[in-house]
Copies of this chain bind each other. A is one copy, B any other.
Amino acid sequence: MSEHSWIQELLQIGGKEGQFSEKQLKILEAAVEMFAEKGYAATSTSEIAKKAGVAEGTIFRHYKTKKDLLLAIVTPTLFQSVAPFLAKEFVREVFDNEYETYEQFLRAVFSNRYAFVKKYLPAIRVLWQELAFHSEIKQCFQRVFTEHVYPKFARIVRHFQEKGELAELPVDSVIRLTITSLASFLAARFLLLPDHHWDDEAEMERTIHVLMNGLRR
């Protein structure tokens, strides 16, 4: 019934239902939009309340502080951003030859994350923007990356290097080049020049093509 389902989907970790009341969703939705537009520090709780159609006090009933509200948005977004790498079956899929080539793997990751960013753009904006200012978020990001994303990514890269598809560049560099190719395409596409005319399919294909040409043995 609720129109806020996208927020609910994004923030619901573990798939429990009924986790958020109608008012809470309105608050979260309003907060995400305003934080994305003006930044956390420049957004007042009274603006959020007004936009959400609730009393200001209601916000603080659900989130003890304004910062808690930010974290309630940003933390799940952070985890969802790297969700594929957190899934238990993810690496097995790769090694079970679900993807025969790194290029196939890339294509899957790119289109999956493209869809993710497109769907949850405001929340990702907030995460990205506030990362710079809040050390808790930054540390959380770094921990998730080094403990979960990096090791799995590294195994995958080595796998395809052993198979002879990828050149013997340092694994770290391959990972960095891959991630920044994806991230910077998405940043350009959605953050920097969202109004530019984009042929998404073609541009993504070109990005992968150029990257693979560079990484291939």
Q: Give Cα A5 to B173, complex, Å.
A: 35
Q: A112 contacts the other chain (Cβ, under 8 Å)?
A: no
Residue in contact with A214 in the complex, picked from B41, B42, B187, B213, CB distance below 8 Å: B213
Q: A155 contacts the other chain (Cβ, under 8 Å)?
A: no
Q: A211-B214, A214-B211 are in contact. Are A180 and B176 (CB under 8 A)?
A: no
Q: Give Cα A203 to B209, complex, Å.
A: 21
Give the interface size class of chain A.
20 to 34
Q: A41-B42, A188-B176 are in contact. Are A169 and B206 (CB under 8 A)?
A: yes
Q: Give Cα A39 to B129, complex, Å.
A: 10
A133 pairs with B42, CB closer than 8 A: yes
Residue in contact with A184 in the complex, picked from B133, B183, B210, B214, CB distance below 8 Å: B183
Q: A125 contacts the other chain (Cβ, under 8 Å)?
A: yes
Q: A125-B132, A132-B191, A133-B38 are in contact. Are A210 and B206 (CB under 8 A)?
A: no
A210 CB contacts on chain B under 8 angstroms:
169, 177, 211, 214-215
Residue of B nearest to A193 (CB): B142
* 7 cross-chain CB contacts under 8 A: A125-B132, A129-B133, A169-B206, A169-B210, A180-B180, A184-B184, A212-B214
